[in-house]
Amino acid sequence: MDLASGFFALSVYSITIFPTIDYIRTKLMVQKYFEVLNLFGQYKHFALSTHLNPDGDALGSELAIYSVLKELDKRVHIFNSDPTPDNYHFLPFRQHIKPPSEVRKVYSNFSPEVLVVLDAGSLSRIGDKLARQLQPTEFIVNIDHHQTSVPFGDINIIETQASSTSEIVYRIIQSSGLEIGKERAICLYTGLMFDTGCFRYSNSTSTAHKMAADLIEEGVSVDEVYRHVYDTVPKIRLHLLGDVLQTLETSSDGKIAWLKVTQKTLRKNGCDFSQLEGFVNYIRSIDSVEVAIIAGELENGFTKFSLRSKNRVDVGRICGLYGGGGHQKAAGCLIEKPIDEALAQLTDATQLQIDEY
DSSP classification of residue 74:
-
**Cβ atoms within 10 Å of 118's Cβ, excluding its own:** 31
Residue 227 CB, nearest approach to Mn ion (Å): 21
Given the DSSP bridges, would you call strands 249-250 and 155-158 parallel, antiparallel or unpaired? Answer: unpaired
Instruction: For residues 177 and 239, give the distance between their C-alpha atoms in angstroms, rounded to a whole number.
Output: 48
DSSP H or E stretch at residue 263: helix 263-269
Q: Determine the interface stretch with Mn ion among 191-199, 221-229, 282-290, 327-335 (rule: CB under 5 A).
A: 191-199
Instruction: Using the minimum distance from each CB to Mn ion, give the nearer residue, 195 or 243.
Output: 195
The yes or no reply on residue 57 touching Mn ion (CB under 5 A) is yes
Scan residues 252-291 and list those touching Mn ion (CB under 5 A): none
d(CA 90, CA 270): 24
Give the residue with the Cβ less far from Mn ion, 215 or 256.
215
Closer to Mn ion by CB, 198 or 349: give it.
Answer: 198
C-alpha angle 62/187/102, rounded to 5°? Answer: 40
Distance from C-alpha of 244 to C-alpha of 259, rounded to nearest angstrom: 6
Please identify the residue of the shown chain whose CB is closest to the bound Mn ion: 57
**Does residue 195 belong to the site contacting Mn ion (CB under 5 A)?**
yes
Q: Minimal distance in Å, beta carbon 285 to Mn ion?
A: 22
Shortest distance, CB of residue 57 to Mn ion, whole angstroms?
Answer: 3
**Helix (H), strand (E), coil (C) string for 225-262:** HHHHHHCCCCHHHHHHHHHHHCCCEECCCCCEEEEEEC
Residue 314 near Mn ion by CB under 5 A: no
- Binding region for Mn ion (CB under 5 A) out of 178-186, 187-195, 241-249, 301-309: 187-195
Complex with Mn ion: residue 240 or 331, whichever CB lies closer = 331
Compute the chain's Rg from CA coordinates. 21
Interface size with Mn ion, residues (CB under 5 A): 5
Q: Pick the closer one to Mn ion by CB: 7 or 194.
A: 194
Q: Looking at beta carbons only, is 57 or 62 nearer to Mn ion?
A: 57
Q: CA 106 → CA 111, 134, 145, 202, distances in Å? A: 9, 11, 30, 42
Q: Which of residues 93-152 bind Mn ion (CB under 5 A)?
A: 119
* Chain mean position to CA 232: 21
Minimum CB distance to Mn ion, residue 185 (Å) = 18
CA–CA dist 75, 111 (Å, integer): 10
CB-nearer residue toward Mn ion: 195 or 314? 195
Q: How far is the CB of 225 from Mn ion (least distance, A)?
A: 16
Residue 126 CB, nearest approach to Mn ion (Å)? 14
Choose between 118 and 313: whose C-beta lies nearer to Mn ion.
Answer: 118
Per CB under 5 A, which region of 14-22, 75-83, 181-189, 192-200 contacts Mn ion?
A: 192-200
Measuring CA to CA, which residue among 107, 106, 123 is closest to residue 49?
A: 123
Coil, strand or helix at 306:
strand
Find the shortest distance in angstroms from Cβ 164 to Mn ion: 5
The residue range among 26-34, 85-93, 193-201, 301-309 that interacts with Mn ion, by the rule CB under 5 A, is 193-201
**Residues in touch with Mn ion (CB under 5 A):** 57, 119, 164-165, 195
